Amino acid sequence: MKKIETIIRPEQFPRLRKKLEEVDINGLTVSEVAGCGQQRGKQALFRGTAYEIKLLPKVKVEMVIESENVDEIIQIIESTCSTNTVGDGKIFVLPIENAIRIRTGESGKEAIV
C-alpha cells in the first residue's frame, strides 16, 4: 500500500473528487492548508515588514491505495489539476505499513477498499 498525498489548488478539488469516484477511490482525507513552494523566494513589502513569506491557500488530499494503482492516480491528479502555471501543486508518494478498519478489524488491502 501507498499513501498519495497531494496538495492542489482549492478550485480543482471538486473535479478531482469526481474523477476519483469514477475509479472507485472512496476513502480520502481532505484538509484546507496553507503553503508555499519554490517561489517563496519572491520577496514583498507587507504592512511595512520586508521579506514576508507568502502562504497561499491550498487543499491537501490524502488517500491510501494499493501500490498497483499509484501510477493511475498520479495520472488522474496531473490531468485534472494542472493549469500549466506555477502553484499547481505537488504529489507525494509514501509507503504504508498497514491499515486497519476499526469496526471490523480487517487489515491490509481489505481495510482500504
Ligand X SMILES: Nc1ncnc2c1ncn2[C@@H]1O[C@H](COP(=O)(O)OP(=O)(O)OP(=O)(O)O)[C@@H](O)[C@H]1O
Return residues touching Mg ion (CB under 5 A). Answer: 37, 39, 86-87
Please choose which of ligand X, Mg ion, none residue 70 contacts, taking the beta carbon within 5 to 8 angstroms, the exact cut-off set by kind.
Answer: none
Q: Which residues pair with 95 in a beta bridge?
A: 2
Please choose which of ligand X, Mg ion, none residue 27 contacts, taking the beta carbon within 5 to 8 angstroms, the exact cut-off set by kind.
Answer: none
**Is residue 26 within 8 Å of 83, Cβ to Cβ?**
no
Q: How would DSSP label each residue in 25-90? A: ----EEEEEEE--GGGG---EETTEETPPP-EEEEEEEEEE-GGGHHHHHHHHHHHH--SSTT-EE
Please identify, using beta-carbon distances, which residue of 54 and 109 lies nearer to Mg ion: 54
As a whole number of angstroms, the distance between CA 49 and CA 82 comes to 33
Judged by CB under 6 A, the residue of 22, 24, 38, 102 near ligand X is 38
Site for ligand X in 57-96 (CB under 6 A): 58, 86-90
Judged by CB under 6 A, the residue of 29, 31, 39, 79 near ligand X is 39
Number of residues interacting with ligand X: please give it, by CB under 6 A.
14
Please give the residue ranges that form the binding site for ligand X (CB under 6 A): 7, 33, 35-39, 56, 58, 86-90
